[in-house]
Amino acid sequence: MTDLAGIYLSIISYVNLPPADPLGYPVPAWILLNLSFLTLTWHLLAMNFTIGGAAILLFTLVRKNSDYRGIRHFFGSGLPLGVSYIITLGIPPLLFVQVLYGQLFYSSSILVGSFWIQVIPALIIAYSGFYYHKFKRQERPRWQWQIIVVSLILLLYIGYIYVNNLTLSMLPEKWLPIYSDNPAGGVLHHGEPTVIPRFLLFLSGAFAVAGMALIWRGTFLLRWGYQDEGRRSHSFGFKAFLLTPMIWLIAAGGIYGARPEDVAMMFAASNTTTTLLITGIISGLMAGIFAFVSLNKKKLIYPFVASWGIFGAMASMVIFRDLVRQTVLSPYFKISSIPVNAQWGMFAIFMVSLVIGLVLLIVLSVKVFPRMAEMARERFDGTI
Amino acid sequence: MTYYSILPDAESRLHDHSKLFGKVSRYILRRYPVWPMIDHLANKVVPVHKHSVWYNIGGIALFFFSVQIITGVLLMIYYRPGLPWDSIQRIVMEVPFGNMIRSIHHWSANLMVFTLFVHMFSTFFMKAYRRPREFTWLVGAVLMGMTLIFGFSGYLLPWDDLSFFATRVGMSEIEKAPLIGMWLADIVRGGSDVTIDTIGRFYVLHVMVLPLLTLAAIGVHLFFIQVQGVSEPDSFASLPESRKRYRKYFTEFIFAEIPVWLFLGVLLVALSAAFPRELMPEADPFSSAPEGIKPEWYFLAQYQLLKFFPGKLEMVGLILLLLLPLGILVVPFIDRAIPANSRGRLVNRIGIIALLGLIVYTLWGWLS
Amino acid sequence: MNYPVWDIPFLGNGLIVAIIAIIHILISHLAIGGGAFLFVAELWSNRQSNGGKIREWLHDYATYFLVYTTVFGAVTGVGIWFAIQLANAEATSLLIHQFVFAWATEWVMFLAELTILYLYYYGWRKNSRSIQTFLAGAYFVISWFSLFIINGILTFMLTPGSWSLAKPDIFAGFFNPGFLPSLLIRSLFMFLLGGLFSLIIASRVSEDDFREKIINFSVKWVIPAAIFIPFLLLWYWSTLPENTVTLVKEGIRGIGGGRLEAITRYFWLAITSGVLIVIGTAIVAIRPKVVSIAGMIGLFMIAQFGVMGAEFFREMARKPYVIYDVLYSNSLWKQNSLNTDYMKTPYLEKAAWEPGIEPLSREHGEWLFRLQCASCHTRNGYRSIVSRTENWSGEFGYRWFLTMHESGVMPPFQGDDYDRAALSAYLVSLNGGFITADEILKKVEPEQSPADTLSLGEMSSGEKQP
List beta partners, residue B48. B245
**Interface contact flag, C101 A26, Cβ < 8 Å:** yes
Q: What is the mean pLDDT of residues A185-196?
A: 93
| Peptide bond connecting C320 to the previous residue in cis, omega within 30 degrees of 0 | yes
Q: Pick C100's closest partner by Cβ from A19, A99, A127.
A: A99
Contact A9/C at CB under 8 A: no
Residue pLDDT, tens place only, A9-18: 445 456 889 9
In this predicted model, which residue has the larger pLDDT, C181 or C251? C181
What does the pLDDT average to over B157-163? Answer: 93
User: Roughly how many angstroms between the first and final C-alpha of chain B, as a whole number?
Assistant: 73
A152-156: average pLDDT: 98
b/e per residue B118-135 (b: at least 16 CB within 10 A):
ebbbbbbbbbbbbeebee
B314 Cα to chain C: minimum distance (Å) = 36
Paired residues of B246 in beta bridges: B47
- How confident is the model at residue C117, as a pLDDT? 96
Do the Cβ atoms of C126 and A374 come within 8 Å?
A: yes
Distance separating alpha carbons of residues C219 and C288, to the nearest angstrom: 9
Q: Report yes or no: A173 at the C interface, CB cutoff 8 Å.
A: no
What pLDDT score does A129 carry?
Answer: 96
User: Does the pLDDT value for residue C459 go beyond 50?
Assistant: no
Res A121 pLDDT > 50: yes
Average pLDDT of the residues in A64-73: 90
Nearest chain C Cα distance for residue A171, angstroms: 15
d(CA B227, CA B246): 17
DSSP per-residue string spanning C3-56: S-----TTT-HHHHHHHHHHHHHHHHHHHHHHHHHHHHHHHHHHTSTTHHHHHH
Query: pLDDT at residue C458 above 80?
Result: no
| A-chain residues near C92 (CB < 8 A) | 98, 102, 106
Q: Quick check: C401 and C394 in contact, CB under 8 A?
A: no
* The pLDDT value given to residue C454: 41
C355: nearest CA partner in chain A: A180
Helices A144-168 & A119-136, crossing angle to 10 degrees? 150
- Chain-wide mean pLDDT for chain A? 92
**Closest approach of C249 to chain A, Cα-based (Å):** 36
Interface size A-C, in CB pairs within 8 Å, comes to: 199
Contact yes or no for B258 and C295 at CB 8 A: yes
Is pLDDT larger for residue C258 or for residue C121?
Answer: C121
pLDDT grade for C253, boundaries at 50, 70 and 90: low
The residue of chain B with its CA nearest to that of C288 is B256
What Cα–Cα distance (Å) separates residue A94 from each residue in A106, B43, C88, C91? 11, 63, 16, 16
Of residues A50 and B252, which shows the higher confidence score? A50
The type of residue at A337 is S
According to DSSP, the residues that pair with B160 across neighbouring strands are: B282
C125 to chain B nearest CA, in Å? 34
Q: What domains, with CATH codes, occur in chain B?
A: 1-41 (no CATH), 44-296 (1.20.810.10)
| Closest to B144 in 3D by CA, of B70, B207, B210, B71 | B210
- The residue of B101, B269, B275 whose CB has the most chain C CBs within 10 angstroms, and thus the best one to mutate to test that interface, is B269
Q: How many other C-beta atoms lie within 10 A of the C-beta of residue B185?
A: 21
Interface-testing mutation among B90, B97, B263, B271, with chain C (most C C-beta atoms within 10 A): B263
C268 contacts B269? CB cut-off 8 A: yes
Task: Check pLDDT > 80 for residue C2.
Answer: yes
Q: How confident is the model at residue C457 (pLDDT cuts 50, 70, 90)?
A: very low
Contact: A372, C122; criterion CB under 8 Å: yes
CA distances from A346 to A31, C160, C170 (A): 14, 18, 8
Q: Cβ contact (<8 Å) for C269 and B273?
A: yes
CB B96 within 8 A of CB C261: no
Question: Is the Cβ pair C78, A91 closer than 8 Å?
Answer: yes
Q: What is the pLDDT of residue C440?
A: 87
Tell me the domains of chain C and their CATH numbers: 13-328 (1.20.1630), 334-459 (1.10.760)
What pLDDT was estimated at residue A4?
52
Q: Are C265 and B257 within 8 A, CB to CB?
A: no
pLDDT of B198 above 80: yes
Q: Of B232-236, C371-375, C393-397, which has the strongest mean pLDDT?
A: C371-375
HEC sequence for A171-205? CHHHHHHHHHHCCCCCCCCCCCCCHHHHHHHHHCC
Q: Is the separation of the CB atoms in C17 and C318 below 8 Å?
A: no
Amino acid B246: pLDDT: 79
* Contact (Cβ atoms closer than 8 angstroms) between residue C60 and residue C121: no
Q: What is the DSSP string of B135-164?
A: HHHHHHHHHHHHHHHHHHHHHHTT-BHHHH
Answer for the pair C107, A92: CB distance below 8 angstroms, yes or no: yes
User: Do residues B199 and B157 make contact, with C-beta atoms less than 8 angstroms apart?
Assistant: yes
Is the pLDDT score of B267 beyond 80?
Answer: yes
pLDDT, residue C259, reads 47
What confidence tier does C37 reach under pLDDT thresholds 50, 70, 90?
very high
Rg of chain C, C-alpha, whole Å: 26
**Torsion, Cα of B332, B334, B340, B344 (10° steps):** -110
* Least confident segment among A281-285, A297-301, B80-84, B302-306: B302-306
- List, for residues B171-186, the tens digit of each pLDDT value: 988 888 888 889 999 9
For the domain made up of A28-341, the CATH class stated in words is mainly alpha
- Is a pLDDT exceeding 60 seen at residue C260? no
pLDDT tens-digit series, residues B88-122: 999 988 888 888 999 999 999 999 999 999 999 99
Q: Which of residues 23-82 of A touch C (CB under 8 A)?
A: 23-27, 35, 80-81
Q: What residue of A is the nearest CA neighbor of C139?
A: A361
* Contact status of A182 with chain C (Cβ, < 8 Å): no
The C-alpha R_g of chain B, in whole angstroms, comes to: 24
> What is the pLDDT, as a whole number, of residue C456?
41
Residue B244: pLDDT band (50, 70, 90) is confident
| Contact predicate A316/A279, CB 8 Å | yes
Domain ranges of chain A: 28-341
**Main-chain dihedrals φ then ψ at residue C327, nearest 5 degrees:** -140, 125
Portion of chain C with pLDDT greater than 90, in percent: 76
Q: Cβ(C89)–Cβ(A98) under 8 Å?
A: no
Tens-place pLDDT, residues B278-326: 888 899 988 888 777 888 899 988 888 888 888 778 888 888 888 889 9
Contact check, Cβ <8 Å, C295/B265: no
pLDDT of B294 reads 81
For residue C306, give the nearest of C348, C360, C336, C267 by alpha carbon: C267
Instruction: Identify from A47, A179, A359 which residue to disrupt to test chain C contact, counting C C-beta atoms within 10 A and taking the largest count.
Output: A179
Q: According to DSSP H, which parts of A183-259 are helical?
A: 195-203, 206-223, 227-258
- Average pLDDT of chain B, as a whole number: 89
Q: 3-state class of B93 per DSSP? A: helix
* pLDDT grade for C447, boundaries at 50, 70 and 90: low
As a whole-number percent, the residues of chain B with pLDDT over 70 amount to 98
Confidence of residue B3 (pLDDT cuts 50, 70, 90): low
Residue bearing the bigger pLDDT, A160 or B32:
A160
Say whether residue A215 is in contact with chain C using an 8 A CB cutoff. no
Q: What is the mean pLDDT of residues A95-119?
A: 96
